[in-house]
Chain A
Amino acid sequence: MNVDKQTYKKYVASRAPASPLVKDMFLAFVTGGAICAFAEGLYNFYLFIKIEEETVRTLVPVTIVFLASLSTGLGVFDSLAKFAGAGTLVPITGFSNAVISPALDDKSEGLVMGVGAKMFTISGPVIVYGVISSVIYGVIYWLMGVLL
């Protein structure tokens, strides 16, 4: 090809169709909002059936994680996520799906090296850097308490 790599890259980028951002953002807003509204409903429901508020705060995410895992196992989560995009990825549903989907796939390699080892291939980095950043914030918080 008588073009250099940079020109070719620019040409490729210019002709590639872009993702439909407005539609994607709208669907993410609606579905993500719906999931959060549902969780809020659950919160009120648990309070209504006289569960203690502190327990409810744990019970709501546990329920949402369970429902996302179940729908992943039933094979519906990915079809929903195809339309919802960030709407299902950003809430805790996305994290649940990221743990369960490799676990389902890799069960063919056994419970130890398959499910056990590969379950965290997607969510692993989130956990590692989540923990590291919480430590850093903790140190900053402590320093502020000491200095101010």
Chain B
Amino acid sequence: MSVIRLENAPSIIGYAAVVGRRESEGPLSDDFDMHDSKEKFGMDTWEKAESEMQRVALNLALAKAKLTGKELGAIFAGDLMNQCIGSSYAAECSHRPFFGLYGACSTFAEGSVLGSLLVERGVFAKCAVLASSHFCTAERQFRYPLEYGGQRTPTSQRTATAAGAFILSAEGEGPYVREVLPGTIVDMGITDINNMGAAMAPAAYDTLTKYFEETGKKPEDFDLIVTGDLGKEGHGIICDFMKNAGYDMSRVYNDCGLMLYSTQTQDMHAGGSGCGCSAAVMAGHIMKRFEKGSLRDMLYIATGALMSPASLQQGRSIPGIAHLVRISAERSGE
């Protein structure tokens, strides 16, 4: 797969991020539109709470774009729950064409790739991209019960309680989705669910080096390169490997999983993860930076660890994926 350049770059005309308690206590606290300290969003189950969080994120993004749900050509949404129910229940009352996606933590970029391609090719005038994850739903499904008394390893990441939404439009004042590079699956044999950063880093490396080789660009050509939740381990691994390949990313690189929480004061081990992690960082913090003008051109590479509880129990290794989206304040130029 090669880099797809979007000549009529779609504009991100609305965005919103909704988070839980710990996320609202983190360093990006001021950048989120809403949070619920109880993390139930007025619902009686965690699954309903996640859907509600995603629904609120969509409505906030629509309101900011001064649109109603009816004006959306389609919704691209995903989460971590079995059969993607977080998203389908969230989109239920919108009555718009709906595409449920599963890309684990890469879902927000996956949706942004698909949504921006279809908007650019004129299939939809406007569409919404959504992703969410909830610590309590993910923990139940992938790990242990919430009140189970266990210890986590230093390399484990915490699933973020967060949802993010983008509204993409053929017309708008930016920021623009200029280029996309859909990722391929890379599996380097990592089987440890408590070290997902190591499982996903090879996929991020694969996508990033393909992008730089093909476009001839260098990391320093961008204001920021951000990966979607590789955490502390993955961050270190990707820096090492990129350096060996001749790309020094140290000055412009950060990771959503490390940005969402304070690793010093919040006891989050290797950082955040989950579809909602990079979705909320992008639709909250990063978009605010574009608004302020402190960010002009950036690469967003969201990585996903595509395992299931069954595949882990069967001892299979974790396949990783990384989709790249270039977002820029300018619609054209280099």
Contacts and interface: CB of A to CB of B under 8 A. Distances in A.
A50 B280 CA distance: 62
A19 to B, nearest CB: 6
Contacts of A89: 149-150
B46 A19 contact: no
Interface stretch (A58-66, A100-108, A132-140): A100-108
Nearest to A119: B145
B155 interface: yes
Contact of A8 (B44, B150, B153, B202): B202
Interface stretch (B3-11, B78-86, B162-170, B233-241): B233-241
Contacts of A88: 149
Contact of A1 (B45, B46, B188): B188
Interface string B138-161: 001000111111110111000000
Contacts of A98: 148
Given A8-B190, A81-B150, A104-B146, 8 more contacts: A16-B233, A17-B155, A78-B146, A78-B148, A80-B149, A85-B151, A105-B146, A122-B148
A82 B188 CA distance: 31
Contacts of B36: none
B148 A16 contact: no
Main SS of chain A's interface residues?
Answer: helix
Contact of A78 (B46, B147, B153, B198): B147
B205 A1 contact: yes
Interface residues of B, number: 29
B47 interface: yes
Contact of B148 (A6, A101, A106): A101
Interface in A100-138: 100-102, 104-106, 108, 122
**Interface core residue of A12, A24, A101 (most chain B CB under 10 Å):** A12
6 contacts: A1-B186, A1-B205, A77-B147, A97-B149, A101-B144, A108-B44
Contacts of B154: 16-19
B199 to A, nearest CB: 9
A97 to B, nearest CB: 5
B155 to A, nearest CB: 5
A88 B155 CA distance: 22
B329 to A, nearest CB: 33
Interface residues of A, number: 36
B195 interface: yes
B144 A122 contact: yes
- Closest 10 A-B residue pairs measured CB to CB? A81-B149, A5-B189, A101-B145, A101-B147, A101-B148, A105-B145, A12-B198, A108-B45, A17-B154, A102-B145
B147 A97 contact: yes
A75 B147 CA distance: 6
A102 to B, nearest CB: 4
A9 B201 CA distance: 12
Nearest to A15: B236
B330 interface: no
B140 to A, nearest CB: 6
B297 interface: no
A17 B151 CA distance: 15
Nearest to B147: A101
A32 interface: no
B25 interface: no
B248 interface: no
